[in-house]
Amino acid sequence: MENLVEKVETAATWITAQSKFKPEIGLILGSGLSSVGEEIEDVEVFPYEDIPGFLRSTVEGHLGRLMIGKLQGRVVLALQGRFHRFEGYSMPQLTLPIRVIRQLGIEILITTNASGAINENYRPGEILLMADHLNLTGDNPLIGPNCDAFRTRFPDLSEAFSRRLRDKVKRIAAAEGIELQEGVYAGLVGPSFETPAEIRALRVLGADAVGFSAVPEVITAVHCGLQVLGLSCLTNMGAGMQSNPLTHEETLDVATAASRKLIDLLKAILPQL
């Protein structure tokens, strides 16, 4: 754990030294949503491999760079490309980027991703505001000696996704005429998509959508005191709910097509956070 704390400090110190900004809001850009990064102005770009102690992303559609700059007048730090358990990273390793974000003094984390719809009222291309999550990874990023530097051994997750931020986003989306679903995100490890039986089981468990990210990040973020907002692009109906097989290409195509909506929403939200 000492080693991890050192890595967080090394990466954060390096970023602080390289950047002319003091970032206020962290943004994780998921599958097909990296174009949000193109909207950042006066941008500084740091490839992950240049940041001492940082991780590298290996998934197609995930670029692998940290960007700092201005979006709607707010200084944002965006991770263009995230890290997943299925890439072989351990859960403790997945805590690193989130803790670096916190170490830089950021208080709000917006995590975005792609997910499959389980709720039959949802449609591909819609945006889901995460109200809560189900951690179905069978694992937890906080297993191991507690990182006391980052607070309590037993963090409370009764409001993992900030109610204050969610209420704000719903108000803003309504005012802007952006349709939004709100529901429970089930986080699995992947990388195989679910079976139709698993989708039915997840529905019984109370999941509205399913994906392979967010959960380790959200638990870590709450642990280190970040307020979290989770936005997901519903890219497909869950396995067995649509006639065609699921592919990563479809996920990327739909997320890319829907990214305009997500960018508009983010731009509307940022000045009011």
Residues binding ligand HPA (CB under 6 A): 114-116, 193-194, 210-212, 235-236, 238, 246, 251
Smallest distance, ligand HPA to C-beta of residue 72, A: 27
Tell me how far apart the alpha carbons of residues 12 and 95 are, in angstroms, rounded to a whole number. Answer: 14
* Contact partners, residue 218, CB within 8 Å, separation at least 6: 111, 133, 160, 161, 228, 230
Pair of tokens at residue 207: 């999941």
Least spacing, CB of residue 138 vs ligand HPA, in Å: 16
How near is the Cβ of 259 to ligand HPA at its closest, in Å?
14
Q: Measured from the CB atom, is 53 or 190 closer to ligand HPA?
A: 190
Query: Which helix (H) or strand (E) is 235 found in, with range?
Result: strand 227-237
DSSP string, 48-88: GGGSTT-----STT---EEEEEEETTEEEEEEES---GGGT
To the nearest whole angstrom, how small is the minimum distance from the Cβ of residue 244 to ligand HPA?
12
CB atoms under 10 Å from CB of 102, counted, come to 21
- The least distance separating ligand HPA from the CB of residue 19, rounded to whole angstroms, comes to 32
Q: 103 to each of 5, 10, 100, how far by Cα in Å?
A: 10, 10, 5
